[in-house]
Structure 1
C-alpha cells in the first residue's frame, strides 16, 4: 500500500487535473445540458470505464509496450482528434442534429450515451500517458506490492474524477431549462461547443508534436 503522504499528494494532483477543462468534462457538460442530468451521469459511466481501462493497462505494464511501438501513440492521438472534429461538425452543421443542441434533439439511448462517453475518454491518449508517467512517481517498492500500489493510486484518481464530474454533470443539467427558454442562447452554445471541440482536436495534435 502507498504511504499516506504519497496518497495525499497524488489525490491533490488528481483533483487539480480533473478540475482542468478537457474533452471529458466538456462532453459531460454538453450531454447534461442537452439531455438532462441522468444522461450526463450515464455518459460519466462510459468515461469511468475508459479510466479503468487505461489505469489497468498502465498498472500491468501494457501501456508501456503500446508506447514503445512506433506510431502507436500517433494513431490513437489522430483518431481522437478526428472523433472530436466529428463531434464539432455535428454541433454546427446546417440543419444537422447536434449532440449539444438543447432543442429538437432526439434522446440517445443509455447504451449509446455510455459508449460515446467511453470513446471520448478512450480516444484521448493523454489519459494513458498520464497514468504511465504519474503513477511511478508515487510508488515505493519498499511499501509492498507495486501492482497493488498502482491499483490503489489509480482507483483514487478515478474516485476523485467520478465525484467531481458527477457534481459538474448534475449542475450543468439545470442549464438546459434556461437554454430552452432562450433559443438564441442555445444557438450560441452550439457554436461555442463546436469551436471548443475543434480547438481541443487541434491542441491534441499539436501537443503530440511537441
Structure 2
C-alpha cells in the first residue's frame, strides 16, 4: 500500500487541528503526504510507520485491508458476545442473529474456541446490549454493537502483541470513537487472528 492509499484510510480526526479543507490537497501532493506521514509517525502511527526491513514500514496495511480488518473485528465482537448469544433461545432473535451474522454466529456458538465464561456483571452488560441491539428493526445496531466490542478486544490485545495493527485499526475510526471494556482471553483472540491472517495471506 502506498502512503497516499494509507492516508486515504485514516480518519480526518487524527490530523489534529489541521483545517479539514486542507486535507484533500495535502493527501494529493508529495510534500503534503510527507508532512502528514511525519505527523502520524510522531504519535498515533509510531509503530505502523516505523522503519522496518523486509516488507517495509507499512507492511501491516498490506496484510490487513479495510475489508479484512473489518471481518476480523466482526468475528472478535461476535465471539466476545458469545455468552449473550448462546443464552438467546427465542426463535425470532435466533433467526435474526443467524441471518445477520452467518459464520460469525457459528463462531460465537463454538465452545472449543472459547468457553464463554465471564463475570456476572460482564454477562449482564452483554445481555442488555444485545437485547437493545435486537430491538432495532435493522441489523445496523447489532453490527455496530459487535464491531465496537470487537475493536475493543483487538485494541486490548494488539497494543501488546501487534502494536502496528492496533494503530491501523484505531486510525480508521474517529479518534474519540468509544470502546467497550474488553474481556476475551488471549487464546481465543489468537485463534481468530490466526484464521483471518491465513485468509489474508491466501488472497
What TM-score results when the alignment is normalised by the length of structure 1? 0.28
**Higher RCO structure, 1 or 2 (CA under 8 Å, sep 6+):** 1
Q: What TM-score results when the alignment is normalised by the length of structure 2? A: 0.29
